[in-house]
Each structure stands twice: as structure tokens, then as C-alpha cells.
Structure 1
Amino acid sequence: MGPFPTAARQLKFLVVGIDYITKWVEVEALATITEKNIRSFIWRNIICRYGIPRVLISDNGKQFDNKPFSKAVIPVEVRLTTYRVENHDENKDDKTMRLHLDLVVKVRATTEQRLARYQNLMANHYNSKIKHKDFQVGDLVLRRVIRAARDAS
């Protein structure tokens, strides 16, 4: 994207990478848009952080339509697996998920108890400042009348 107004270090272009599903954005400011800068951005901000992408979609600019960039993209088509994919154990993940779900129930119960204690303490504090009066049917009660609300007659 750009050119934008020149910033420090003559940066006036943006290269933007967006994850198609989560819409997560990776952005880097560049002074010039070259295939070397784009390759460096993809390596540092995409591949090193998130692994090899399945698909790269570009605007077919000059920086994407050249031999060095296509050579850099060829390993993407190999679909090397990542450490997470290689070491995935379904049974271990199920056990971990069940443990976390059990913990969620315990945490929720603890939180409800803590909330009930807090509400009880607040009610006791509030009620300690109130003077208790017992009224019987037929007792007369004085009521304070505000001057603005009085009838003018």
C-alpha cells in the first residue's frame, strides 16, 4: 500500500499480510517495495511466526512476479509439517480437554461461592448502618415533605 507521507527512515510504503480466516493483520513499513523486502517480510512475519502457509494470495505486483520469489515460494508447495502437527496425540488432547472442562466447573463453583460471600458481607455492612424499627398496623408515621413538591394552596 502506498505511497504514504514519508516517515522516519524514509518509510512510505506498507506491506500487509492478512490471515484469511481470523482476519489477523501483519504490517510492516518499507522505504521501497522490492522482492527482497517482500521475501523478508513473508519469512519473518508469516513463516517464522505461523508456519508455512497453505496458500499465498497476492496482487501480482512486480515484486511477486519474478524468479527469485517463485523459488522462495516453491517450498510452500511441499507442505512440510510443523512440530505441532507431527507430535499431535488425540488421546492426550482429549484427556487435557476433559481436565480443563472439570477445572472450569470447579472454578465456576468457587466463583459463585465467593460472589455469595461478598454479597452477604455487603448486605451485612449495609444493614449494620440502618436502625431497625418495628411498626404495627395503625401506627402513625411522619413523612418529610419537600417544599417544591408541596401544593401551593
Structure 2
Amino acid sequence: MKATITLTACALTLAVSVLHAQRGRGQVTGPAPKVNIVQSIGCAERKAGNPATWWLTRAAEATATESNFFNANEVEASKTLSLGSNAYQLIGVADFLDKDGLLQEGQRSQFTTRDTANASGQLRAGRKVIVKGLLIDADGQRRINLTQVVSVSDTCQ
């Protein structure tokens, strides 16, 4: 009998605690943060370091876009766009490298083999590329978390 009362009291205490914790959930003060999907064109550059980083240099100013991906018309039109003077660190690059590059990224080789690697090979140093992704502009650093990379020229001129 005493054990039943103790278990019931514990269950009620837990239920009240969960309800109280859930009450404040989802309540945010102020405007919701906004992360823009942007696109830009520039030169793909791999900078040495530990870890190495990828950059979009000589880049045009990133402009907001609605879509995460380029269509054929956008790719064709981008071939005539001018480069700029901006630089963005590129993050989320693994899927856009070649297979060997993907396997060298982070811990990818622990769960991916060369035969199963899904890498587009579009991001290679020295190429002119167009990118789309989420613009992260914080702490004086401008980064693009990639959703798509398309190589538009083997050289960056």
C-alpha cells in the first residue's frame, strides 16, 4: 500500500513537472531570426589549414533568392556575370567535392566508401562557380552554407 502511494506521488510529480516545462516551450520574444537564401558567383579557393577551408573569392555581392537550386536558364545566364571583390567562407562543402575530397572531409570516410560516395565534383579550386545557400553573417564573418554549387568555367577569369 505504501509503495503504491509513493509510486502515485512520483508519477504525479513527474506529470506536473513535464506540463510546467512544456508551458514555456515555443514562446519566443521578438522577431524570429531570418537566414536568407542567397546566390553568388566567384572563384573557388581552398585555403590550407587544419582543417582546410573553402572560399568563394572575387565574389559578386550575394543576393537573396527564393529557390535553393539553379535552373538551366540561371546557369546559362551566369556565364556572363562579372566577378566581384567579396569573399565568403563556404561551409557544407563535402557533397560538392569529388569523391576523394568528400572522403577526406571530417569523418566521412568512417561511414562512406568510394563506391557509395555521393559527390558532385562541382567544387574544385580555380574554377568559376555559382553557389546558392544560407547566408550566415555573424561576428564579422560572412559564410554561405551551401545548397548547390555549379561550375560554370574551368578557370576563374
TM-score range, shorter chain: under 0.3
- Calculate the TM-score normalised by the size of structure 1: 0.23
Structure that is richer in helix per residue: 1
| Bigger RCO (CA 8 Å, 6+ sep) | 2
- Calculate the TM-score normalised by the size of structure 2: 0.22
Structure that is richer in strand per residue: 2
Larger radius of gyration: 1
